[in-house]
Structure 1
Amino acid sequence: MGQDAQPRHGQAHDGELGAAVARAQAGDEAAFTVVYRLVQPGLLGYLRGMVGDDAEDVASDAWLEIARDLGRFRGDGAGFRGWSATIARHRALDHLRRRRARPRTTTLDPEVLDLPSWHSTHEQALETISTELALRLLAELPRDQAEAVLLRVVVGLDGPAVARVLGKRSGAVRTSAHRGLKRLARLLDGSGWADGGADG
């Protein structure tokens, strides 16, 4: 149960994000750059899981909408991550409808997960390795589980925020994320990598 309770990068910077959003709403363009830098890596990672190689195009559409509607947003940094993920999800679903295709599974580039450095290089390398492997295995999950895991782990949303983004009950999302993470853990155990230091 506690495996996914540790704050992700996004959660660790929610205070900074909330302050930057407030400044951006007041017209500070440099603050909007900070908002983009803090939110884009997780958002792009989530969209890569949804639409594969078209993620950057979909992200661009999402950011146009985010910038247009920024003045209407009310909330803190965590709320902004959820709000922006909801917009990105709608743009991804629109994209998939237009293409009349199922979401393609694509692993994330390591650069997608890079945020401004506040960990040692060693810690970042360990996290990137484990995240890359987990995201490669996401293709094995049903879509509802994969999306719940992406929003929890890559975007860094808490359970209620994921439920709001997906338009589902918290209990259903919690179950999907739990099942998805358990299945990923089984897949990781089967890969032989877990014995090499996944707990490090």
Structure 2
Amino acid sequence: MDCAHLDEAVAAARSGDGPAFARLWTELSPRVAAYLRAHGVAEADDVTSEVFLAVFRQMAGFEGGGDAFRALVFTVAHRRQVDWHRQRGRRGLWLPLEEAGPDPVVESAESTALGVLSTEGVLEVLATLTPDQRAVLALRVVADLSLEETAAVLGKDVGSVKSLQHRALARLRREISPKPYPRDVLARLKPRHA
């Protein structure tokens, strides 16, 4: 949804238009869920619902356009993921329902393995980042927020956000790209002139 349509949907939702709420949910909820998953929130879909319930309760008093609304949504999402991790720390380990016992209706082993491998791989690479670096990348890439909006969500200045983003991308490049060849291997690959 482009900025103009997002602005229109926010204005209509502010006046109580149900379909406008649905458009906002449809546009932003996948990004919020992805942001939460990137931060290790296991119940990302449930927390996404909580985020939108909290935001939609504030709509009558909300002032601003689409960009301000998106920043509000991700501010609430950021706070909810912090709360989720705090609660999980207090509750201790938990066992997802899928792992609680045999279920007669499950996906094929191949589908499950492929889904786990891709998710685990991404989460493993993201785990090499600091929490602030993960938050910046998730807000900039997944949520598509500007530097200024990201800074507002995280309560940091724009320079700090730029620095965190730069360091996070540099670390991801090092993690994803193959290790460089040792110098002796490179020397053997250079053509020799006689």
Counterpart in the other structure of 1:55: 44
Q: What TM-score do you get using the length of structure 1 for normalisation?
A: 0.69
Q: Whose helix proportion is higher, 1 or 2? A: 1
Give the partner amino acid of 1:33.
A
Identical residues among aligned pairs (%): 37
**Greater relative contact order (CA < 8 Å, ≥ 6 in sequence):** 1
8 Å CA contact 2:9–2:24 kept in 1: the answer is yes
8 Å CA contact 2:39–2:134 kept in 1: the answer is no
Q: Secondary structure at the match of 1:52?
A: coil
What is the count of residue pairs matched by the alignment?
152
Q: Deviation per CA, 1:35-91, whole angstroms, max 9, x where unpaired?
A: 111111111111112243121221121111011111222212121111100011112
Structure 1 unaligned segments of length 5 or more: list them. 1-11, 102-131, 192-200
From 67, 70, 84, give the equivalent of 1:78.
67
User: Over alpha carbons, which structure has the higher Rg?
Assistant: 2
Counterpart in the other structure of 1:190: 178
Q: Secondary structure at the match of 1:86?
A: helix
8 Å CA contact 1:46–1:154 kept in 2: the answer is yes
Deviation of 1:136 (Å): 5.5
Q: Secondary structure at the match of 2:16?
A: coil
Counterpart in the other structure of 2:144: 156
Counterpart in the other structure of 2:56: 67
Q: Secondary structure at the match of 2:177?
A: helix
State the distance in 1 between where 2:124 and 2:28 align: 22
Counterpart in the other structure of 2:155: 167
Structure 2 unaligned segments of length 5 or more: list them. 91-119, 180-194
State the distance in 2 between where 1:30 and 1:73 align: 18
Q: Superposed, which structure 2 residues align to 1:1-200 within 5 Å?
A: 13-100=2-89, 137-190=125-178
Give the partner amino acid of 1:17.
L
State the distance in 1 between where 2:4 and 2:174 align: 35
Residues 39/31 of structure 1: CA separation in 2 closer, same or farther (3 Å cut) = same
Give the partner amino acid of 2:141.
V
8 Å CA contact 1:134–1:188 kept in 2: the answer is no
- Please report the RMSD computed on the Cα atoms of aligned residues, expressed in angstroms: 2.4
8 Å CA contact 1:134–1:184 kept in 2: the answer is no
